[in-house]
Amino acid sequence: MSHPTVALVAFIALFTGYLVLAGIDYGVGLTLPRTGSDAPGRRAVLGAVGPLLLGNEAWLLVSVGALAGTLPGLRGALFEGAHPYALIAFAGALALNAGVQLRGRHPGERVRRAFDLLICAAGAAAAFGWGCFLAVTAAGVSLGSDGHVRGVAAPDPFTLLGGLTMVALLATHGSAFVAARLTGDPARRAAALTVVGATLAAALLAVTALTGWVGGSFDGGALRHPVLAALAVVLAVAALFLTRALAGGGRARLAPWATTAAVIAAACAVFAGKYPALLTSTVAGVPAPTVAQLATDETALAAVLWTSGPVLLLVVAAQVYLWLAVWAPARTAAPAPEPLEAPAFS
């Protein structure tokens, strides 16, 4: 495999990982008013995702940063073509981070309610933005023959439906996570929400795919492998039905695995369907640039890949460790912490 291909595959893997992991944060955020009925409930819900937030959100900068360093052409064109949606997504991610960090800093209940709403809106914005971004990627951007993007993609039904689908999908993902990690009232509410969300997400996903197909969004060779894309959509829908069965059947602990499969399948419907030409033009007669054309020069590419590759694997291993530690059910009581000795106020 040549270096540009490795970089492309790495980006797809990192960005899909970002959607799966940060999708939990966004989903938990946007279902927060529903899953947490009272103040302690909301606190427990946010506490469930708390230790993972920083690690999850890092995947955004890592995937985009790696793309900028290895395939600057692809990043430039995609982010220019889908500019407003990327902006919504980035703003949502930013606000969610800030909201979760700041919420606890004020003791007032009313202020916290306001923060809850902000977190909910931010989660919805991030999910919607990335959904639209993926839809624009699937349909292609208005790339001119000179290699410059002519303008941003107009908001057509396919794009907006893509955004809504991602909102429903990540809401299911987040509430399934809450249902699996908590017990008691928040978990019951989250499980009920998962069942509803999975149905809605499956329906929206099917409608979006059909809209794109019927509406001609994939015309002009936008998808290299339409069969693969259709297969991925079917898999995502199947995973959502499995989620429904698991969450409704009292096996909430397993449901997040099914939603994870659904998110991966939804992202792969776009990425695998278009591979290897992630960037296609909606302008007639303009061929899709090859990966090599989008890549930076060979020395820089090799340097980036060989420097960051091993470290990346190590960091991912650390994240897996963190997940295992957080995910493990509290079977054995943790060793009692050493009692803190009293601080002496001088």
Partner 1 sequence: MAPEDLARLQFGLTVASHYLLVTLTLGLVALVAVAHTRWARTGDPALRRMTTYWGTLYVINYAVGIATGLAMEFQLSANWTGLESTAASVFGAPLAVETVVSFFAESTFLALWIFGFDRLPKYVHLACIWIVAAAAYTSAVWALLANGFMQNPVAYTMRDGHLELTSFGALFANANSWIAIFHIFGGALAVGGFFVLGVSLLLHRRGRADRAFVRHSLKAGAHAGTWGAALVVLSGTVQLGNTRKDQPLKGAVLDGNQAEVTRQLQELAKRFGPLEGPPSGPVLGALTLMMMIGGVLLILGVWALVSLREQRPQAFPPPYAQPYPGQGHPGQWQPTPAPARGQGQGGRKVYPGQWPPGQGPHGPTGQGRRVYPGQWPQGRAPGPQGQYGQYGPYGQPSRPGPYARPGPHAQVYAHAHVGRTPSGEGEVMRSAVLRRVLPFAMALPFLANLCGWAVREVGRQPFVITGILTTRQAMTPGLGAGRLTASLLVLVVLVVCLLGLDWWLLARAAMRGPGEGGLGRGAEPAAASTASAAAPDSLGSGLAGAAHDPRVDPRTHPRAPQASPYGDRSTGAAASPASPASSASAASSREGAHPS
Minimum distance from residue 65 beta carbon to partner 1 (Å): 3
Please say which residue, 109 or 227, places its beta carbon nearer to partner 1. 109
* Tokens 């059909």 found at: 210
SS3 36: coil
Minimum distance from residue 162 beta carbon to partner 1 (Å): 22
Please say which residue, 120 or 229, places its beta carbon nearer to partner 1. 120
Using CB under 8 A as the binding criterion, the count of chain residues that bind partner 1 stands at 80
Instruction: Please report, as residue ranges, which positions from 24 to 83 form the binding site for partner 1 (by CB under 8 A).
Output: 40, 43-55, 57-59, 61-62, 64-66, 68-70, 72, 75-76, 79-80
Distances (CA, A) of 213 to 184, 210, 228: 43, 5, 14
Minimum distance from residue 121 beta carbon to partner 1 (Å): 16
Minimum distance from residue 214 beta carbon to partner 1 (Å): 34
For residue 192, state whether it binds partner 1 (rule: CB under 8 A). no
Count Cβ atoms below 10 Å from residue 127 Cβ, excluding itself.
32
Minimum distance from residue 90 beta carbon to partner 1 (Å): 6
Please say which residue, 65 or 144, places its beta carbon nearer to partner 1. 65
Are the beta carbons of 224 and 274 closer than 8 angstroms?
A: yes
Answer for which of 1, 107, 154, 285 binds partner 1 (CB under 8 A) is: 107
Cis peptide before 4 (omega within 30 of 0): no
Are the beta carbons of 2 and 72 closer than 8 angstroms?
A: no
Inter-helix orientation angle 109-139/255-274, to 10°? 40
Rounded Cα distance, 131 and 188, in Å:
28
For residue 207, state whether it binds partner 1 (rule: CB under 8 A). no
Give me the 299-328 binding string for partner 1, x by CB under 8 A, dash otherwise.
Answer: xxx-xx--xx--xx-xx--xx-xx--xx--
- CA-based nearest residue to 141, from 153, 132, 133: 153
Please say which residue, 285 or 335, places its beta carbon nearer to partner 1. 335
Minimum distance from residue 1 beta carbon to partner 1 (Å): 19
For residue 1, state whether it binds partner 1 (rule: CB under 8 A). no
Instruction: Please report, as residue ranges, which positions from 127 to 186 form the binding site for partner 1 (by CB under 8 A).
Output: 181-184, 186
Please say which residue, 46 or 247, places its beta carbon nearer to partner 1. 46
Please say which residue, 48 or 222, places its beta carbon nearer to partner 1. 48
Please say which residue, 217 or 296, places its beta carbon nearer to partner 1. 296
Are the beta carbons of 103 and 117 closer than 8 angstroms?
A: no
Answer for which of 6, 9, 13, 102 binds partner 1 (CB under 8 A) is: 102
Q: Is 216 left (phi over 0), alpha (psi -120 to 50) or beta?
A: left
Rounded Cα distance, 218 and 248, in Å:
36
Please say which residue, 203 or 322, places its beta carbon nearer to partner 1. 322
Give me the 238-277 binding string for partner 1, x by CB under 8 A, dash otherwise.
Answer: ----------------------------------------
**Both tokens of residue 82?**
């889908």
Answer for which of 1, 250, 330, 332 binds partner 1 (CB under 8 A) is: 330
For residue 189, state whether it binds partner 1 (rule: CB under 8 A). no
Minimum distance from residue 40 beta carbon to partner 1 (Å): 7
Rounded Cα distance, 307 and 310, in Å:
7
Minimum distance from residue 56 beta carbon to partner 1 (Å): 9
**Cα 91-93-99 angle, rounded to 5 deg:** 95
Minimum distance from residue 23 beta carbon to partner 1 (Å): 17
Rounded Cα distance, 326 and 320, in Å:
10
Are the beta carbons of 7 and 69 closer than 8 angstroms?
A: no
Rounded Cα distance, 83 and 79, in Å:
5
